[in-house]
Amino acid sequence: MCRITIALVFFFSFFVHAQNNAVGTNEKLVFTASYNMSGILNNLAEVRMETSEVKTSQTTLLRLKCTASTFSKWDHFFKIRDLYESYVSPTTLKPYLYKRDINEGSYFKAMKYTYNHKTNTIKTLQQKKKKDGTIWDENKTISVQSQTKDIVSTLYGIRTLDYSNMTIGKSTEMIIVFDREEVKAHITYLGKENISTVLGNTSCYKLSISTNKVDVLKGTNSNVIWLTADENKIPVFATFKIAVGNGELKLKSATGLRH
């Protein structure tokens, strides 16, 4: 299940560097994640993506929060309660702090990145639970490229790209830091497509995503995401293929949109 969660997040993530005109400050997107078992899709978990303002004494940042929770019928088999957060600039979505808290059955892992954009380094703290129940801390500072972002900020960052003038087949390279390693991802614009969603029959930008980390996303053009072809550019549907199978992510509700 950890692979599925990682793949879902990677699936959405790639590097962007643009002004934010799409993501609002009080947005709430709810998705249903389904997994293909013997050719039949089963609803597995609810994925939420929420934004909110966070005020400090000096400034105001945007909190990007993603959670994944298994539906109650699965909780007895494997209970998932994952939390991903990124605290970013509201105008550029440049990240300053990233936190990840994974609770999947008896498995626990937490990760924190504190960015230093002046030195292009990230101070990381990883926490893992040992077999005896104690928490093991590991501090490490890593050097990254200037455009490297965490998965949550890139997840939202894809919406700041301008697809309206993009030619079909155009591929963009992105750099994501995940598990304290930089991963190169490629996003390919596949054109516009009308699909049926909870918002009605919607015109969407169709994008294919692949990474150089072979154990995350499998296949070519098997990992596809559809963003609404409007100013909000919200993800409405996604299909993914990973080592342990395939599935899809479907938008259930969207509130607090900016446009």
Partner 1 sequence: MRKVFIILGLIAALLAVILSVLPLSNLAFIPAILALLFGIIALYLFNKSGASKKIIYYIFLLTIISLVFATYKSIFSEPEVVNMEELQEKENESKQEAIDELEELNIDAEDLEDINLEE
Q: Contact positions toward partner 1, by CB under 8 A?
A: 20, 23-25, 32, 37-38, 40-43, 46, 53-63, 65, 67, 69-75, 77, 81, 83, 85, 87, 89-92, 94, 96-97, 99, 101, 114, 117, 258-259
- In terms of CB distance, is 69 or 124 closer to partner 1? 69
- In terms of CB distance, is 24 or 190 closer to partner 1? 24
The 3-state secondary structure of 195-252, one letter per residue: EEECCEEEEEEEEEEEECCCCCCCCCCCCEEEEECCCCCCEEEEEEEECCEEEEEEEE
Q: How far apart are the first and last CA of the chain?
A: 35
The DSSP output letter for 75 is: H
Least CB distance to partner 1 at residue 62 (A): 7
Least CB distance to partner 1 at residue 10 (A): 22
Least CB distance to partner 1 at residue 145 (A): 17
Question: What single-letter amino acid sits at 140?
Answer: K
C-alpha distances (whole Å) from 132 to each of 89, 106, 129, 135, 136 are 40, 12, 8, 9, 11
- In terms of CB distance, is 90 or 247 closer to partner 1? 90
- In terms of CB distance, is 67 or 208 closer to partner 1? 67
Least CB distance to partner 1 at residue 190 (A): 29
